[in-house]
Amino acid sequence: MKKQHLLILGLVTFLFTMAGNNALAQEDGKEKFRNLGLIGISTLHSLPEKTNTIVFRIKNNSSRTISQIFGWVYMYEKALSGKGKNWMLLNNPHRGGNIIKGKPHRPGTVSEWSFPLVREPFIANQEIDYTLRVHSRSIFFVNVEPGNKSATEP
């Protein structure tokens, strides 16, 4: 009897682990996010014409509000095999991103983060793509969580 309970408990735990371990992509409507644990990075990005930056949409998967993200922006050539080649670092990873839309970046929300580039990106080339790599220790959280805005003010 005890073995059956342990077997059922182990099976349920395994199923919940597999269901929650969607590490490749999460879909939020038409947009897909690569799940990196604390954050999810959208596969879509934009290159503003007037500034030398790149904008990524980032989803906060943590339970705390994000204050700063430091990451590496890479440019690479798309290959037929699906793997990139000729990777080139485009930013200074010691200079973090700036939040554009969605401030503060609360848990469960999607915000736009702009990362300044050191080199000029290739905008017109269809064989070039960009990616953002972020380590979990490069994500910083606020010390005091901001309160919710009230509907009526006193």
How far apart (Å, rounded) are the C-alpha atoms in residues 82 and 76? Answer: 12
Mean pLDDT of 91-99: 92
Contacts of 78 (CB under 8 A, 6+ apart): 84, 127, 128, 129
- Give the domains, in start order, of the chain with CATH numbers: 24-141 (2.40.30)
Tokens of 41: 């990075």
How far apart (Å, rounded) are the C-alpha atoms in residues 117 and 102? Answer: 21
- pLDDT beyond 70 at 39: yes
CB-CB neighbours of 54 under 10 Å: 22
- pLDDT beyond 90 at 38: yes
Per residue in 41-80, pLDDT (tens digit) is 998 889 888 889 999 999 999 999 999 999 999 999 888 8
Per residue in 99-126, pLDDT (tens digit) is 998 889 999 999 999 999 998 877 667 7
% of the chain with per-residue pLDDT over 70: 76
Cross-strand pairs, 20: none
Question: Which residue in 78, 81, 80, 94 sits closest to 131, CA to CA?
Answer: 78
Alpha-carbon torsion angle 42, 44, 46, 52, nearest 10:
60
Higher-pLDDT residue of 54, 25: 54
CB-CB neighbours of 149 under 10 Å: 6
The answer to pTM > 0.85 is: no
Contacts of 113 (CB under 8 A, 6+ apart): 55, 56, 57, 58, 69, 97, 98, 99, 100
Q: CB-side exposure of 144: number of CA atoms within 13 Å? A: 3
pLDDT at residue number 152: 63
